[in-house]
């Protein structure tokens, strides 16, 4: 029956979605590497006389892939003689402060996905769970880790659609079936596409993916340890489940694992047992929460784990607090000096940069602020010169508040090529957050000769006895 289904599906399969105009069987569409992989595994398959019966008899109707988000209820009903408590729990949020978003809702809505499918000119009914899982991961790296080369503004629908287009056109995906469309993405194609996109965004030196596909399963503990170590370092893991993953929400699907949980049960004789769960985004439109699944699914056959590695060696991170020692007056208080001040600044990371500033200070023991608007003033700037190149800078920026009198005020960024400061991009002040507790996030990519960055703001009609036009900066990420 499976064979009949397979042949039927093969007869209806489309070309891969990345505009490859081919005909014939799936096998004809595979790359040499993919054919080699299959051929290599086939040799072991045909030597294993138990495999075909396993293919035929392994039931799809098992609960291994169910959404088990009601864990206490599940454990109490399954192991009634035990008293359960959660003994381990972690998510990527403990390291990065965040977890991946759910794709389809509230971001990357069905309308955005449909528009991206049209723009990509790919054959896809709903995007495919592999490409959508990758979209969630790329969004995570951009939205929370500052890799805004991927998507400049995750809050912009237009930018989200562009990211979807990038993904849909790069991930080789097959659409199978007639009437009921199903999609197929190989984990090695997923990983290759991710790394190709990193090349395209010019951050391949910083972000890479690797895949581990296990046809026969049996690697539950190894996979569990892989998941835990990645989560503990703030890196989600993408899980692909295949045919033997049952019929639950996690079955035959790509999900982004963002955490794990272990529960331990104790019975009246003090015997203990434990159950492990993965925590993931399902990327379904109607399931926008986080969902738990029995970690034993990691021991199934046809499991793909895609892991991500971020190289932080060429990344410099600093914030307003790093300027606390130097950007104050002799009493240690904030002061907007009306003459240029130059000072080396040593970050908490021990990196040292050279700075020059005008009417820029560390204020209220918390904020790095430029203030150009005051009578007889009119300009404020902050120059930062690094001991290395600056390929990009991501940072938080906001106005001090809603009443900063910014009419007539401009803000430009410059980069330093070692000799001159060159005007680069303007930042529209009226677009910035007026809530410094919830600032706007900006990203700048600089030419290869950039070694310094300058923020320069000026007011055409400075007035008043108070410091106004205040712009707050924080949470810088510089890659070089």
Partner 1 sequence: MMRKSSIVLLLPVLLCSCVNHKTNAMFEFDSTQVDEETTLTFHLVVTSISKTDFDNANGLNVLEDVVEKNNYYFITFTKIDSGSNIEKLDFYNLQDMYPNTKSQPVTYIDDNENEIGPDSNQFSCTFFIQYNGKIIIFKEKTK
Considering the complex, what minimum distance in angstroms separates the CB of residue 449 from partner 1? 44
Beta strands 83-91 and 341-346 are unpaired
* Distance (Å, whole) CA 400 – CA 378: 17
Tell whether residue 221 is a contact of partner 1 (CB under 8 A): no
Considering the complex, what minimum distance in angstroms separates the CB of residue 284 from partner 1? 5
Structure tokens at 249: 């929400």
Tell whether residue 174 is a contact of partner 1 (CB under 8 A): yes
Measured CA to CA in angstroms, residue 257 lies from 61, 64, 304 at distances of 23, 16, 12
- DSSP code, position 468: B
Which region among 7-15, 315-323, 363-371, 465-473 touches partner 1 (by CB under 8 A)?
A: 7-15
* Distance (Å, whole) CA 308 – CA 209: 4
For partner 1, give the closer residue by CB, 27 or 466.
27
Structure tokens at 162: 């562009």
Tell whether residue 55 is a contact of partner 1 (CB under 8 A): yes
The backbone torsions φ and ψ at residue 95, rounded to the nearest 5 degrees and listed phi first, read -105, -45
Q: Is 42 left (phi over 0), alpha (psi -120 to 50) or beta?
A: alpha
Considering the complex, what minimum distance in angstroms separates the CB of residue 468 from partner 1? 31
* Distance (Å, whole) CA 215 – CA 304: 9
Considering the complex, what minimum distance in angstroms separates the CB of residue 5 from partner 1? 7
Tell whether residue 240 is a contact of partner 1 (CB under 8 A): yes
**Contacts of residue 398, Cβ cutoff 8 Å, sequence gap at least 6:** 432, 433, 434, 435, 436, 438, 439, 440, 471, 472
Size of the site for partner 1 (CB under 8 A): 62
For partner 1, give the closer residue by CB, 201 or 254.
254
Tell whether residue 241 is a contact of partner 1 (CB under 8 A): yes
* Distance (Å, whole) CA 232 – CA 30: 36
* Distance (Å, whole) CA 99 – CA 91: 7
CB-based burial label for 471 (10 Å; 0-12, 13-18, 19+): buried
Interaction pattern, residues 366-405, with partner 1; x per rule: CB under 8 A:
----------------------------------------
Considering the complex, what minimum distance in angstroms separates the CB of residue 1 from partner 1? 12
Which region among 176-184, 227-235, 386-394, 455-463 touches partner 1 (by CB under 8 A)?
A: 176-184
Considering the complex, what minimum distance in angstroms separates the CB of residue 201 from partner 1? 25
Tell whether residue 103 is a contact of partner 1 (CB under 8 A): no
* Distance (Å, whole) CA 189 – CA 151: 21
Tell whether residue 182 is a contact of partner 1 (CB under 8 A): yes
Considering the complex, what minimum distance in angstroms separates the CB of residue 119 from partner 1? 19
For partner 1, give the closer residue by CB, 289 or 364.
289
Looking at 135, 169, 185, 391, which residue binds partner 1 (CB under 8 A)?
185
In contact, 65 and 239? CB cutoff 8 Å: no
Structure tokens at 407: 């009419």
Considering the complex, what minimum distance in angstroms separates the CB of residue 106 from partner 1? 6
Q: Is 144 left (phi over 0), alpha (psi -120 to 50) or beta?
A: alpha
Which region among 123-131, 153-161, 269-277, 409-417 touches partner 1 (by CB under 8 A)?
A: 123-131
For partner 1, give the closer residue by CB, 25 or 225.
25
E strand residue ranges, 248-314: 254-266, 272-281, 291-294, 303-310
Which region among 234-242, 292-300, 329-337, 380-388 touches partner 1 (by CB under 8 A)?
A: 234-242
For partner 1, give the closer residue by CB, 278 or 353.
278
The DSSP secondary structure of 396-446, one letter per residue, reads EEEESSS----TTEEEEEEEE-SS-EEEEEE--GGGSBS-TTS-EEEEEE-
* Distance (Å, whole) CA 283 – CA 106: 10
Looking at 66, 224, 400, 415, which residue binds partner 1 (CB under 8 A)?
66
Interaction pattern, residues 186-205, with partner 1; x per rule: CB under 8 A:
x-------------------
Tell whether residue 247 is a contact of partner 1 (CB under 8 A): yes
Of 286-325, binders to partner 1 (CB under 8 A) are 286-289, 302
For partner 1, give the closer residue by CB, 7 or 423.
7
* Distance (Å, whole) CA 133 – CA 168: 11
Task: Measure the CA dihedral 294/86/285/145, to 10°.
Answer: -110
Tell whether residue 56 is a contact of partner 1 (CB under 8 A): no
Tally: H helices and E strands in the chain? 11, 21
Looking at 59, 106, 420, 428, which residue binds partner 1 (CB under 8 A)?
106
Looking at 179, 269, 364, 437, which residue binds partner 1 (CB under 8 A)?
179
Tell whether residue 337 is a contact of partner 1 (CB under 8 A): no
For partner 1, give the closer residue by CB, 37 or 347.
37
Tell whether residue 2 is a contact of partner 1 (CB under 8 A): yes
* Distance (Å, whole) CA 372 – CA 400: 12
Where does this chain bind partner 1 (CB under 8 A)?
A: 2-3, 5-7, 9-10, 25-27, 30, 38-39, 41-42, 45-46, 52, 55, 66-67, 70, 73-74, 77, 105-106, 109-111, 125-126, 128-130, 174, 176, 179-186, 240-243, 247, 249, 251-254, 284-289, 302
């Amino acid at each position: 029956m499976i064979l009949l289904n397979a042949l039927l599906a093969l007869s209806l399969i489309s070309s891969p979605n990345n505009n490859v105009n081919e005909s014939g069987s799936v096998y004809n569409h595979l790359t040499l590497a993919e054919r080699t992989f299959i051929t290599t595994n086939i040799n072991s398959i045909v030597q294993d006389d138990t495999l075909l019966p396993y293919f035929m008899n392994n039931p799809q109707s098992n609960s291994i892939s169910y959404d088990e988000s009601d864990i206490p209820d599940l454990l109490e009903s399954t192991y009634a003689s035990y008293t359960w408590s959660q003994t381990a729990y972690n998510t990527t949020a403990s390291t990065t402060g965040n977890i991946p978003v759910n794709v389809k809702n509230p971001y990357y809505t069905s309308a955005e996905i449909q528009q991206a499918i049209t723009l990509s000119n790919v054959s896809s009914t709903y995007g495919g769970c592999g490409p959508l899982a990758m979209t969630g991961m790329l969004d995570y790296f951009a939205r929370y880790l500052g890799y805004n080369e991927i998507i400049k503004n995750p809050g912009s629908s237009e930018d989200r659609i562009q990211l979807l287009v990038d993904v849909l056109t790069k991930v080789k995906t097959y659409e199978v079936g007639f009437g009921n469309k199903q999609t197929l993405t190989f984990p090695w194609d997923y990983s290759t596409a991710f790394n190709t996109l990193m090349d395209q965004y010019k951050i391949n030196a910083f972000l890479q993916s690797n895949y581990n596909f296990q046809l026969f399963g049996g690697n539950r503990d190894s996979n569990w340890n892989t998941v835990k170590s990645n989560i503990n370092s703030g890196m989600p893991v993408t899980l692909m489940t295949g045919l033997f993953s049952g019929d639950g929400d996690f079955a035959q699907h790509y999900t982004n694992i963002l955490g794990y949980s272990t529960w331990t049960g104790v019975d009246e004789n003090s015997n203990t047992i434990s159950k492990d769960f993965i925590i993931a985004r399902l990327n379904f439109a109607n399931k926008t929460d986080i969902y738990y699944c029995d970690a034993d699914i990691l021991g199934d056959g046809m499991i793909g784990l895609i892991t991500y590695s971020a190289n932080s060696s060429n990344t410099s991170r600093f914030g307003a607090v790093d300027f606390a020692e130097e950007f104050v007056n002799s009493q240690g208080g904030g002061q907007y000096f009306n003459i240029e001040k130059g000072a080396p600044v040593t970050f908490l990371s021990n990196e040292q940069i050279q700075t020059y500033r005008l009417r820029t200070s560390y204020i209220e023991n918390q904020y790095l602020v430029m203030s150009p608007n005051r009578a007889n003033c009119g300009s404020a700037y902050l120059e930062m010169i690094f001991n290395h190149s600056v390929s990009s800078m991501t940072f938080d920026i906001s106005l001090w508040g809603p009443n900063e009198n910014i009419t007539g005020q401009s803000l430009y960024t410059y980069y330093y090529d070692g000799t001159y400061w060159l005007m680069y991009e303007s930042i529209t002040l009226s677009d910035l957050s007026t809530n410094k507790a919830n600032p706007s996030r900006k990203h700048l990519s600089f030419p290869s000769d950039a070694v310094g960055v300058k923020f320069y703001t000026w007011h055409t009609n400075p007035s008043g006895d108070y410091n106004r036009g205040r712009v707050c900066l924080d949470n810088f990420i510089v890659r070089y």
